[in-house]
Amino acid sequence: MSIAASDAVRPPIVAAGDAGSGIFAYCSQQYRVVFGAGTAARLGEETERLGIKRALVLTTPEQQDLGRRLGAGLGDRLAGLFAGARMHTPVEVTNAALRIVESHDIDGLVAIGGGSTVGLGKALSLRTGLPHIAMPTTYAGSEMTPILGETTNGIKTTQQSQDLVPDTVIYDVDLTVSLPPHVSAASGLNAIAHAVEALYAPDANPLTSLMAEDGIAALARALPRIMDAPADAGARRDALYGAWLCGVCLGAVGMSLHHKLCHVLGGMFNLPHAETHAIVLPHAAAYNAAAAPDAMTRVARALRTSDTPQGLFDLARRLGLPRRLADIGMPEDGIARAAEMAVRSPYANPRPVERVAIQDLIAAAWRGDAPAQH
């Protein structure tokens, strides 16, 4: 079964209700979603709907064979394959792909892969205005957000624009079945991080909070099953559904301390994106726990635990994910430098972002300590 969003462009929805002060705003994103098993077969139909005649397929080097296989379904609409997408969207990679776009009369982009590939598609679409189709193969959720993080000389910066949201997202559960369990787990914790922060964002609202809690719950029940039985179709469907909801949440509200820390750490030390999120998340939740009790209650309920930071830490341990930043390549002498960078231009956060406390948080994550309030 597949579910397709309406073709009509949807206007922003502004609603009022019981959220915080009793007043809130909710703006819907303008995109189309096709969800289900076997929906990759709809790629040709979706390119035709967007008027794409010369599509450039984007992948990482590891997924270029998948890109060729799915791209073949485009027939004469396939103009080329660029298999150079990399973590943290380095601008030099974007510029290399842009030269191909310009020299081959490309009029549309198809990003097949995880956050690295979708990020490249966003960067190219932003620079060219070309339509962008995303086909996620992980649970990162980037395809649902109007956010782009790009890295230049080790510094990662973010920008936000509705133009960054892909025009169509094709969620095919079948494309995730071959995702290795470890990668699935890290990607899923990354998605959960989106929803956790959405629950205490200053612009949180009842709709995104409902999606956040449901998304966390879907991933929390699916990921352990995927570790035990990677081909479990029901678990894969639940995980992809949860990732979709968590990505929507991140796209609808602002980011806070957790994402700031991960952007700093990933950009400065070229750390693996999803694993960084998985390690930092319990510590960021502990930092904000006292300042965001309602959010912690909802996360705990979704995780079926009484302690949100510890529950997130235990879930990562159950999934066999690394618990120490030291284990994924961060040097100990980078702790102070990262803390200094993290307190510059901080994102809105429930608790004030304090230099000493942030350094303690990063140090605890570097050592792999259990989460504790700082």
Distance CA(124)–CA(109), nearest Å, equals 8
Give CA 114 to chain center in angstroms: 8
Q: Which residue has the tokens 């979704």?
A: 302
Distances (CA, A) of 308 to 29, 96, 241, 314, 360: 29, 43, 22, 10, 19
pLDDT at 374: 61
320-356, pLDDT tens digit by residue?
999 999 999 999 999 999 999 999 988 899 999 999 9
Start-end of CATH 1.20.1090.10 domains in the chain: 181-367
The whole-number average pLDDT for the span 137-141 is: 89
pLDDT at 3: 41
The whole-number average pLDDT for the span 55-83 is: 97
pLDDT at 287: 98
Start-end of CATH 3.40.50.1970 domains in the chain: 30-176
Distance CA(68)–CA(225), nearest Å, equals 30
pLDDT at 18: 39
Query: What is the biggest distance separating any 2 CA atoms in the chain, rounded to whole angstroms?
Result: 58
- The answer for 210, left when phi > 0, alpha when psi is -120 to 50, beta otherwise, is alpha
Q: Under DSSP, is residue 251 helix (H, G, I), strand (E, B) or coil?
A: helix
Residue 135 phi, psi (nearest 5): -125, 90
3-30, pLDDT tens digit by residue?
443 333 333 333 333 344 568 887 766 7
Q: 246: closest CA among 216, 210, 202?
A: 216
b or e along 28-57 (b: 16 or more beta carbons within 10 Å of the residue's beta carbon)? ebbbbbbbbbebbebbbebbeebebebbbb
List the structure tokens of 52. 């794409």
Q: By the 8 A CB rule, do 17 and 206 touch? A: yes
Domain topology for 181-367: Dehydroquinate synthase-like, alpha domain (1.20.1090)
Distances (CA, A) of 204 to 189, 198, 252: 20, 6, 8
H helices present in 201-232, as ranges = 206-228
Q: By the 8 A CB rule, do 37 and 124 touch? A: no
Overall CATH class of domain 30-176? alpha beta
pTM over 0.75: yes
